[in-house]
């Protein structure tokens, strides 16, 4: 099961296993960050709220 970092400030989603130095979420204040384990929730954020997956998640099926 995957786990995801949600960057509510930049409306980006990162996969915790693939977060790297290029991920902007590392510079986002913790109050703007959340973690999600539900792929359904992640998909809903993308679909309904316009969140985008960070490049660190490229190739992953969310
Ligand atoms: Zn990322």
Give the residue among 31, 5, 10, 39 at the shortest CA–CA distance from 20.
5
For 23-39, how does the pLDDT look when each residue is reduced to its tens digit (9 = 90+)? 888 899 999 999 999 98
Distance from the alpha carbon of residue 9 to the mean position of ligand 1, in angstroms: 13
**2 close to 37: Cβ distance less than 8 angstroms:** yes
CA of 39 to the centre of ligand 1 (A): 16
Closest CA to 19 of 53, 46, 62, 43: 53
Looking at residue 61, its pLDDT comes to 53
- Tokens of residue 7, six digits: 């960057």
The model's pLDDT over 39-56, given as tens digits with 9 standing for 90+, comes to 899 999 999 999 999 988
CA angle, 38 then 13 then 11, to 5° = 120
**Domain spans in the chain, listed from the N-terminal domain onward:** 4-57
CA 16–ligand 1 middle distance (angstroms): 8
């Amino acid at each position: 099961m995957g786990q995801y970092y949600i960057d509510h400030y930049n409306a980006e989603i990162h996969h915790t296993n693939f977060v790297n130095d290029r991920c902007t979420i590392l510079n986002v204040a913790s109050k703007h960050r959340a973690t999600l384990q539900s792929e359904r929730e992640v998909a809903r954020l993308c679909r309904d709220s316009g969140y985008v997956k960070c490049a660190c998640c490229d190739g992953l099926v969310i």
